[in-house]
Structure 1
Amino acid sequence: MWTRKEEDILAATMLELTTTGWKSDNGFRAGYLSKIEDSLRAEFPNTDLKGNPHINSKIGSWKKSYGLLRSILSRTGVGWNHHGDHKFDCSDEQWEQIVQADKDTKYMRNKSWPLWETWKTIFGKDRASGLAAEEVGAAAKSVRAQVRDDSSDNSGKQTSTTKTIPRKSKKPSPDSDLMEFLGNLHERTDARLEMISKHIGYEFDMGQARQEVFDKLCTVDGLTLAQRYRLCNILGDKPQRLEVFIGMPVNARLGYLLCLIEDEHKEV
């Protein structure tokens, strides 16, 4: 079982690795698990967490959750609520469609996902560089410092029944500080990286979208291969159409796609 502080240090270490050349196109370079293991041992000398299976399993679980969250948040009308607890805001009908599309999302609706911004930096395709890299590195160091402060406070507490210990003001959690920082960081850099679609108002990875839409088109009976090729261009050029196609019921997709092809022919 992972403690909250161990997860905080794992997240901080992975953020540091993304800014020091360990992140590659397909994940992280060989040897990164040993780097994380060393980092955890430096903070928690008595830890029994190992690269395999513990760290590898935890990262795999995080990456799966990130992929599911990314898919859910790409849907129209679905986002985080306004309470700041990283829980979803969507209708029952929308959630039913989400679960129908992927059964692994069934129990995700009422959970909080405070590591979302961290996962975007760790698992996203872009690599932090320049000022952004410095800021991510600074955020990771801040998390480490906070964990050490909390550990020092806990180790120094006395349990005497005759001495009253003054109550200290509650410190913000490392996660909340990191989430706020990364949220602000993404707001400042999204425009520069063109990660936010101006037309539909949320992050839209066109390269990944084109790959996914062809897979989806292959599940629609009644289309020729040539039509699928044409539809890749049609949907790729219009993110709104791609969004509508992916979100609609399976039995309605063929008619919609044929209409798109017909409309394109009329425009030509």
Structure 2
Amino acid sequence: MENGATSQNNKGKDKKTDKTRRGWSEREEDVLIQALKEAVIEGWKSGNGFRAGYLGFLERRMKAAFPETNLRGNPHINSKVHVWKKLYGNLVTMLSKSGVGWNDTEKTIDASNETWESLIMVENNARAMGNKRWIYYNDWCEIFGNDRATGDKTEDIVSAGAAESISISVAPLSKPISAKSKGKKRKQGDDDDDAIVEAINNFADVTKNTMTNLIKQLAAKASYEKMSAAQEKVLDAMESIPELTEDEKVSVTEILVDNHKKLSLFLRYGHGGRLSLARKLLRGG
């Protein structure tokens, strides 16, 4: 099972697999689900996703259950979690539609034929989702919760290759636009003018606050992407240090992703320096 769903019409039939991906057994998926629940309980969940280092936690859980496994945090577990989160988002969207319900016994989406025909016209995923059993849906609710609310939409604002720093300046009005000075006889249209002035000033305040929040979101996104790229480099570097065991590599990686200064230093070293630093970190240095 690859996506946490089974087809009611095609059970047991072989599917073509993407050779760039590793196939998962049902047992492996079950263990990963339980590991993700443990990660949530143990505090790896933060904001709209998981904290840095959680892939190492999951990898250790998988290795404990399958000592000979070749599953790694990147790319295998990371890819699986990403796919599950996307499927969960699609399910939540579908279940929010009028006339659509959830059959918890069969683990399927419940809707009349007429409703499905209507949904297929407006929802790209409807046709593919209707004939499947979503056995992990309740588990995904526990694991991902409200992650989907902002997770994928952020990527629509800033692409994966966004610049490392984004600076947007908003110049508020230096002075609020003032109404006509006191002391002069007010004309009949003055009240309307004052209302327009107040609306303009309010709009300026709202625009300033909105842009400030957007800047914070973009900066956080850029920082996350920069950190993710550094983590990928560390994982690649670990593969080229045969002197370390797999468990040692995982431990060093977790230490580095939680310490930005040591991570930066590690990436600057050559092979010998990286090995020395890794052994020092393993000794608690």
TM-score class normalised by the smaller sequence:
0.3 to 0.5
Where is the helix percentage greater, Structure 1 or Structure 2? 1
* Larger-gyration structure (1/2): 2
TM-score, normalised with respect to structure 1: 0.45
